[in-house]
Structure 1
Amino acid sequence: MTSKHVAGPTLDEFEAARATVAKVAQSTPMETSRYLSSLLGSEVFLKCENLQRTGSYKLRGAYNRLSQLTPDERAKGVIAASAGNHAQGVALAARELGIKATIFMPLGVALPKLEATREYGAEVVLAGNIFNESLKAAKERAAETGAIFIAPFDHEHVITGQGTLGLEILDEVPDVDTIIVPIGGGGLISGVASAVKQKAATLGRTVRIIGVQAENAAAYPPSLAAGEPVNVEVQPTICDGIAVARPGTLNFDIIKDTVDEVVTVSDDDTARALVMLLERAKLVVEPAGAVGVAAIMAKKIKKSGKTVAILSGGNIDPLLLQRIVGHGLAASERYLKLRVMLPDRPGQLARTAEIVSEQNANVVEVLHTRHGRGLQISEVELELHIETRGKEHRKQVVKALRDEGYKVRISDDI
């Protein structure tokens, strides 16, 4: 099979990788989303790589890369660096192929990702506070020992393996018009964009590819503007899986020729998307895997026919998920924190709770103090954490309390 060549591996190489990757990777579900379809005005599908073996798409690229190693290279073992998903992909691929794997991970890596990597049989070395520091340590160890370094995104065989996801999408939604892809270093989107553009060309079609980055770790917009990869300072973000300071060199060359647009989303946008996926789609997705959905919900994506958003991973620490859900509810204006000044006399706490209940809102936490700054001797301050149904319901609750004569302040530090 041949096609007009665009940047990246050839379509024949993608098809060959597909046969290789099929030995370990599942064909993941493609779900529809009526909620997102109504927001975008076009039919929206969710490609659930969060349900892939190891919990992310990374297994595809890792297995394809390790499968290309010679017997001598396999005997030397492999080394990788990862915040979690690449680690698990390499660890499982190495186990399946009988190769010794050593994985360098940041010190603050999520516990489920750390434990899963070890359970797949890899040796884990914790080094550095961010991915780039782990990456440096891994490359140094590889140079010292002669082990084969397995790049997380900047290698042709990794890119080819990730691109098999694009071919799968075209099989499942043949008339797809737009594919939305998370971007960190660029391994997934460079593979998907190259494979899809080439395959679509053989069918006489065009498909729009949109990349999404976390705004606190968005190296691609300035790099594309500069025409070459540039470094950015990565700020704290819940999207640790795509928090990469510099685009991959091979990835960038492909992306600049095959990706139609790159947009960014905030952590609040992503938290809202995670809550929506839990509530409406019943899917557990890690923050980096949900940025495509976040972009739709934040109206960063224009209506453009049938749209597939890739949910690239589902590996999330339950404790982080708990915090993100709370933050997402607040960002969606469904969680309200109020400070209410009350006269210090019996029955006032019960009355405020009654007012909230009359508005069909739910009090989930209460703090009652006489010692707040600015309080009169005859006053107490009541802090209420309330679940609401959204913006208008919040206003209704606040108005009801104020109409009863209470002094109410809305607090944003949830």
Structure 2
Amino acid sequence: MSASAGLDLAAIEQAREALRGVAIETPMEESRWLSALAGSPVLLKCENLQRTGSFKIRGAYLRMARLTDEERAHGVVAASAGNHAQGVALAARLLGIHARVYMPVGAPIPKENATRGYGAEVEFHGASVDEALAAARAYAADTGAVLVHPYDHRDIVLGQATCGLEILEQAPEVRTVVVPTGGGGLVAGIAAAVKLRRPDVHVVAVQAAGAAAYPASLAAGHPIAVEQMSTMADGIAVGLPGDVPFAAIREHVDEVVTVGEEALSRAVLSTLERAKLVLEPAGAAAVAALLDDPGRWEGPTVAVLSGGNIDPLLMMRVIRHGMASAGRYLGCTVRIPDAPGGLATLLAELAEAQANVLDVVHERTSASLHLDEVVVTLQLETRGPQHAEQVLARLRARGYAVA
């Protein structure tokens, strides 16, 4: 029996029965490219392929299915950057309950549209999930609606724990489980399920460095709010851990690590390219941790891909950022003769070097230029750092002054 708010195996098994036919058993795929980097098998638990595009339907449906008839009559209210919103909206539709969801201003448009598409009302409030949650609490107090918290409730955590049972069954040899972490509901549930059956398995929580409340909270022994947050991973940008997940994490999670924005964007891009899986930055946090330090943990390792609901505009920015981080973009300036054919000759050299020209800017007015010179500023797409060096070396070998 776990000391963490009654998160025992019997309760987790009951949660799985309640979710049968609602949440799907998501695939577990081996990642050859991550396995090669880590030096041991790495498997991907694809919760991005869950209904609504994230793990959230597990906890949301369980919480709402256990409401009384009187509670259902008053409806439910939730706060979310988008994934919990969609889980609540779908669960409400399946259960015939009215749902209202508060989202922070600037929440991704696809998540808003999907939430409305499932039938929930959407209101925007505040700049963060925590501020939206304050509005949801006020609405619940005014109307009697039941607050379906995104992570701080036993049934929410029990629902997410069913993912942990699947991990053990799909990857019985697992030695390490790495889980994206915001408020903590997912990693708390997975850790409880895993540790109660396999205490030898190492469980790692991964937070975005710009929104990491758990390291300081665990050090203090109680939840501590993060004063400022800044991360592209809106799904795990939570400023204050919940009491229920905090207790389970303190008991069952072995390690909390953080990842930066560069690692998150690289993980989104790499998983798209290599695994053909679409992830939002929060959903790629476990992969980011593995890319940061591939051999850090004993394998086989399961990386949980917690969500794939990414705004296409953000995806475009992340791809550009990830390609830059991977050395796929090269910026340089080249001096060329200010004569007919000068630019054409330079571009021909770049074509021979198989560098794709993204942008070209001429500069003719500079005190450092000779009368017969032009500076060309280039943005190039390359195959990576080695290719970029080859391009620069080729230009210098042809007599160009490159900076």
Query: Pick from 184, 187, 198: which aligns with 1:186?
Result: 184
Q: Relative to structure 2, which stretch is displaced further, 126-135 or 377-386? A: 377-386
Identify the residue that residue 350 of structure 2 maps to in structure 1: 356
RMSD: 1.6
Counterpart contact for 2:39–2:295, Cα < 8 Å: no
Unaligned runs of 5+ in 1: 410-414
Identify the residue that residue 405 of structure 1 maps to in structure 2: 399
The TM-score with structure 2 as length reference comes to 0.96
Counterpart contact for 1:55–1:313, Cα < 8 Å: yes
Identify the residue that residue 57 of structure 2 maps to in structure 1: 59
Q: Relative to structure 2, which stretch is displaced further, 279-288 or 223-232? A: 223-232
Deviation, structure 1 residue 378: 4.3
Runs of 4+ with deviation above 6 angstroms:
none
Identify the residue that residue 213 of structure 2 maps to in structure 1: 219
Identify the residue that residue 2 of structure 2 maps to in structure 1: 5
Identify the residue that residue 412 of structure 1 maps to in structure 2: none
Deviation, structure 1 residue 369: 4.0
Identify the residue that residue 333 of structure 1 maps to in structure 2: 327
- In structure 2, what is the Cα distance between the partners aligned to 1:6 and 1:373? 73
Q: How does 1:22-33 map to 2 (within 5 A)?
A: 22-33=20-31
Alpha-carbon spacing, 1:153–1:371, altered in 2? closer, same or farther (3 Å): farther
Q: Relative to structure 2, which stretch is displaced further, 383-392 or 136-145? A: 383-392
Identify the residue that residue 115 of structure 2 maps to in structure 1: 117
Alpha-carbon spacing, 1:140–1:377, altered in 2? closer, same or farther (3 Å): farther
The SS at the match of 1:164 is helix
Alpha-carbon spacing, 1:358–1:83, altered in 2? closer, same or farther (3 Å): same
- In structure 1, what is the Cα distance between the partners aligned to 2:139 and 2:209? 32
Query: Pick from 18, 21, 24: which aligns with 2:19?
Result: 21
Asked if 1:256 is matched to 2:250, the reply is yes
Identify the residue that residue 170 of structure 2 maps to in structure 1: 172
Query: Pick from 300, 307, 314: which aligns with 2:301?
Result: 307
Deviation, structure 1 residue 377: 5.5
Unaligned runs of 5+ in 2: none
Counterpart contact for 1:87–1:117, Cα < 8 Å: yes
Alpha-carbon spacing, 1:397–1:313, altered in 2? closer, same or farther (3 Å): same
Counterpart contact for 1:42–1:303, Cα < 8 Å: no
Q: How does 1:152-167 map to 2 (within 5 A)?
A: 152-167=150-165
Counterpart contact for 1:263–1:300, Cα < 8 Å: no
Alpha-carbon spacing, 1:115–1:342, altered in 2? closer, same or farther (3 Å): same
The SS at the match of 1:83 is coil
The SS at the match of 2:226 is coil
Deviation per CA, 1:203-246: give whole Å up to 9, x if none. xxx21101111111111111122222111133321111101111
- In structure 1, what is the Cα distance between the partners aligned to 2:29 and 2:327? 27
Amino acid at match of 2:205: G
Identify the residue that residue 270 of structure 2 maps to in structure 1: 276
Identify the residue that residue 132 of structure 2 maps to in structure 1: 134
Counterpart contact for 1:41–1:303, Cα < 8 Å: no
Deviation per CA, 1:88-125: give whole Å up to 9, x if none. 00000011000000000011011100000000000000
Amino acid at match of 2:293: K
Would you say how many aligned residue pairs link Structure 1 and Structure 2?
A: 402
The TM-score with structure 1 as length reference comes to 0.93
Deviation, structure 1 residue 301: 5.7
Alpha-carbon spacing, 1:60–1:376, altered in 2? closer, same or farther (3 Å): farther
- In structure 1, what is the Cα distance between the partners aligned to 2:214 and 2:282? 15
Alpha-carbon spacing, 1:255–1:375, altered in 2? closer, same or farther (3 Å): farther
Amino acid at match of 1:46: L
The SS at the match of 1:211 is strand
Deviation, structure 1 residue 383: 2.4
Counterpart contact for 1:6–1:258, Cα < 8 Å: no
